[in-house]
Amino acid sequence: MRTIWSYALLAVVLLLLSACESGGKFIVFNNSSYPVYTAVDSGPQVTIPAGGMHSFEIDTKTQSLFSGEVKRTVPVFLKGETYSMEDAYHENLWTDNTTIIIYAGEVLQAYVNPNRACIKVTNNSSQTITEATIYKNAGVIPTPFAVITNILPGESKFQRVDYYTTSNQFFYQIELKTEDGNTYNYGDASTTMLLKDEQYPIVFTDPVK
């Protein structure tokens, strides 16, 4: 009889142990053609290459038969060169920050599907690019769209932009201004009519004198 009770007690202990779970995973899949930059729970930023993925281990309290459901709200930073998160609270606005809810023992997955185009400026010159002004040109008068400031020598910066469609046709023009006051122009209807998940790279070097 004592042996039966011993086995029964052991079975209960094993059941309780098997029912205990802690921690969760958050996996980000980059389905775009360019890098995605992300950080979870105020941790270090991770670069996920095109077509790649990254798994984050997230701590939670231990969930057992007696604790009930265990979950945790975690801040997430997520920014792609051709991807922006839509703001859940403001229509037609973008954001790079959100939160996720992780349950103990859960694997949560996020798929980054491209929804922007991109203009990227790499400064391989010996002076600072003080301004890179991006203009949107629908065939009449170019209108300012965005400005990238203070691109240091050896540095790259990118700006996500709207993409071209057959019902919304336009191209971009980019004016670089360097610290010596000179300006350099890029882009026309044949090179910067950017589609979704397309990037226009500018590599700026010292002009030949």
pLDDT in tens, the chain (209 residues): 555 544 444 344 443 444 456 678 899 999 999 999 999 998 999 999 999 999 999 886 565 544 456 788 899 999 999 999 998 777 778 999 999 998 888 889 999 999 999 999 999 999 999 999 999 999 888 999 999 999 999 999 999 999 999 999 999 999 999 999 999 999 999 999 999 999 999 999 998 87
Q: Are strands 107-112 and 24-30 parallel, antiparallel or unpaired?
A: parallel
Q: Are 114 and 80 in contact (CB under 8 A)?
A: yes
What is the reported pLDDT for 12? 40
Residue 154 burial (10 A CB sphere; 0-12, 13-18, 19+): exposed
Structural domains in the chain plus CATH codes: 2-112 (2.60.40), 117-204 (2.60.40.2630)
73-89 burial: b if 16+ Cβ within 10 Å, else e: ebebbbbbbbbbbeeee
What is the reported pLDDT for 3? 58
What is the reported pLDDT for 30? 99
Taking CA atoms, 6 is separated from 14, 17, 20, 35, in Å, by 12, 17, 22, 57
